[in-house]
Amino acid sequence: MTEALVVVKDLKKHFPVQRSLVAKLLTGTKDQWVRAVDGVDFVIHNQETLGLVGESGCGKTTLGRTLVGLYEPTAGSVTFAGQDVFQLKKTNPVAFYRQVQMVFQNPYASLNPRKTVREILSQPLKVRDRYNPKELEEAIQRLLEQVGLNKYHMDRYPHQFSGGQRQRVSIARALAMQPSFIVCDEPVSALDVSVQAQILNLLQDLQVRHQLTYLFISHDLSVVRYLCDRVAVMYLGKIVELGNTEEVFNHPVHPYTEALLSSMPQIKRDPNQKKILLTGSVPSPLDPPPGCSFHPRCIAKVGKICELESPELIACSPGHFAACHRGQA
């Protein structure tokens, strides 16, 4: 096992719900907090890809943005190569972003529509190093070639590209700082299936070439299974299962993981495999239920303990962790 590059301990990110004084007086309510990320622990090893999956609204994107310093945490810590992420970002932000970058879900929204590709890529390159005009031109061309674009794309604007090409530009912008860790926030969810495959293969090639480490956020389980070494399953701000990708897919422990996997589209489904249909809806992160957060929808409750005590994420086999009273009974 390679050494740990990113270590996350009891990370929390809560957002306040702004209410007027009149509303508080009329309803008698106090300040409320959206518990987007509510106590998360995990490690990402050097040059591995950790997949993060879960339903929309479970806190995946908030977690990713907190890791790269876009959000200040409510509590907990994140260390990158032994350095405190939030302290490093405050004291030396250039040094921090030379090591950590992010590829966003929607490249059309994350790229400045008023700037050409040349201008978009010039900015991080100038921050990273000093270039004369000729060297800068060559550096931009090398970046474009790495992501499968050509020199004549330099002077185009984002709206002149296809969705896949725009995502390639976003990846090139992330690579410009020569990082070692990249958070990919659903980078292929808005693309056609054929283009998705091209971008996934590109990410794999770049990982080998530049010795990169990824946190890959997605709701597409087939993509995660193809790309990721390990997978973490998130529900209502917490990680409920974590382990080697094939181990989690073949031997899920948490009922929520089982339900997610049973919902995967399959060309030929095993007749002995039952499809699990969850009832109800995801509880509000404003007021999560006591005990196990999944118990209102769980079909495998083991008793009152599920409603009263929150299970800890503990090992159920070597390298495979789950937060479920059923597996701990």
Would you say residue 144 lies in a domain?
Answer: no
Element housing 16 (H / E): strand 4-17
The identity of residue 241, as a single letter, is E
**Predicted confidence (pLDDT) per residue in 286-295, tens digit:** 888 888 989 8
Residue 268 lies in a domain: no
CA–CA distance, 11 with 77 (Å, rounded to integer): 6
Mean pLDDT of 109-119: 93
Within-domain flag for 95: yes
Does the pLDDT value for residue 274 go beyond 90? no
| 72 in a structural domain | yes
Sorted by sequence, the CB contacts under 8 Å of residue 133 that are 6+ apart come out as none
In a domain, 165, yes or no: no
> Given this model, what pLDDT does residue 56 score?
86
The rounded distance, in Å, linking the Cα atoms of 237 and 292 is 12
Q: What is the dihedral of CA 15, 20, 23, 28, to 10 degrees?
A: 60
How far apart are the C-alpha atoms of 60 and 118, rounded to whole Å? Answer: 32
Q: According to the model, what pLDDT value does residue 147 have?
A: 94
CA distance 10 to 2: 22
Surface-to-core class of residue 171, CB atoms within 10 Å of its CB (0-12 exposed, 13-18 middle, 19+ buried): buried
How far is the C-alpha of 300 from the C-alpha of 174, rounded, in Å?
Answer: 43
By CB atoms closer than 10 A (0-12, 13-18, 19+), residue 219 is middle
146 pLDDT higher than 60? yes
Total domains in the chain come to 1
pLDDT range class, residue 120, cuts 50, 70, 90 = very high
Tokens 């956020």 correspond to 217
Residue 89 resides in a domain: yes
Structure confidence by residue, pLDDT tens digits, 48-85: 999 999 988 899 999 999 999 999 999 999 999 889 98
Answer whether residue 300 shows pLDDT above 70.
yes
Query: Considering the entire predicted model, what is its pTM?
Result: 0.91
Instruction: Decide which of 280 and 124 is more confident.
Output: 124
Residue with tokens 């005990």: 291
Residue 275 lies in a domain: no
Encoded amino acid at 293, one letter: S
Using CB atoms within 10 A of its CB, is residue 28 exposed (0-12), middle (13-18) or buried (19+)?
exposed
Percent residues over pLDDT 90 in the chain = 57
**How high is the pLDDT of residue 304?**
87
Euclidean distance between CA atoms 86 and 80, whole angstroms: 10
Asked if residue 290 lies in contact with residue 279, where contact means CB atoms within 8 angstroms, the answer is no
Average pLDDT, the chain: 89
**Domain CATH number, residue 94:** 3.40.50.300
Q: How far is residue 74's CA from residue 206's CA, in Å, rounded to a whole number?
A: 34
User: Which distant-in-sequence residues (6+ apart) come within 8 Å of 207 by Cβ?
Assistant: 47, 49, 214
Tokens of 197: 């495959």
User: What range does the domain containing 192 cover?
Assistant: 4-20+30-99+179-251
Q: Answer yes or no: is 91 within a domain.
A: yes
Residue 28 pLDDT:
59
Q: How confident is the model at residue 238 (pLDDT cuts 50, 70, 90)?
A: very high
Q: Is the pLDDT of residue 269 over 70?
A: no
CA distances from 221 to 107, 231, 260, 317 (A): 22, 10, 8, 22
Which tokens belong to 23?
Answer: 């509303």
